[in-house]
Copies of this chain bind each other. A is one copy, B any other.
Amino acid sequence: MTHCHTLIEDLRQKGYRLTPQREMIVNIIAHSESHMSADHIYHQVQERTEAVNIATVYRTLDMLVSEGLVCRTDLGGGKIVYATREHGPHMHLVCKSCHSVIDANHAPLTLLGQELSKKYKFQADLQHISIFGLCQKCQERKVNR
C-alpha cells in the first residue's frame, strides 16, 4: 500500500468522508518531494480541476494537521509549508536574505531536545524546525559590499 493510500485510509477510520478534493490534496502532498505552501498545493490541484476552492485547501490542511497526519512548518515571514509525516525529521536552514532553504540533518538536535526536556520540562518539536541565518552565497555577497 502506498503512502497516500495509508493517509486516506487513516482519514476514513477517523470518520472523515472521502471527497475528491481531499483525495487530490492528500495525493499532492504525499507525492511531493518537498514541503509545499497552501498556495502551491492549491495551484497543483487546479491543474487537475479548476472547480476547487482555496478555502477547501486551507480547511483540509488544517484538518490534516490537527489529525497529526501532516506537519506544518513556519519558514518565517509568514511562509507556512506542509509535508506528510513520512518526510524524515530535519532542520530547515532558511536564508533571511535570499530565502533559500537547505534541508539539514537533524542529528545535532537530539541532545538539545533532551536538555530542554530535562531543564525546562519542555517537549520540543524538533522534527521540522526552522533556523534562520545567512547561506554561503549571501555571506559572500555581504563581504563584497
- Interface residues in chain A, defined as those with a beta carbon under 8 Å from any beta carbon in chain B: 74, 76-78, 93, 95-96, 102, 104-105, 108-109, 111-112, 115-116, 119-126, 129, 131-136, 139
Contact = CB atoms under 8 A, between A and B. Distances in A.
Given A74-B74, A74-B77, A122 B108 contact: no
A78 B74 CA distance: 9
Q: What is the interface of chain A mostly: helix, strand, loop, or mixed? A: mixed
A132 B123 CA distance: 8
Given A104-B116, A109-B112, A112-B108, A131 B136 contact: no
Stoichiometry, as copies per complex, reads 2
Contact of A131 (B76, B96, B124, B139): B124
A108 B133 CA distance: 18
Closest 6 CB pairs of A and B: A121-B136, A124-B133, A123-B134, A125-B133, A93-B122, A125-B132
Given A77-B74, A102-B122, A116 B131 contact: yes
B108 A120 contact: no
A129 B113 CA distance: 14
B76 A104 contact: no
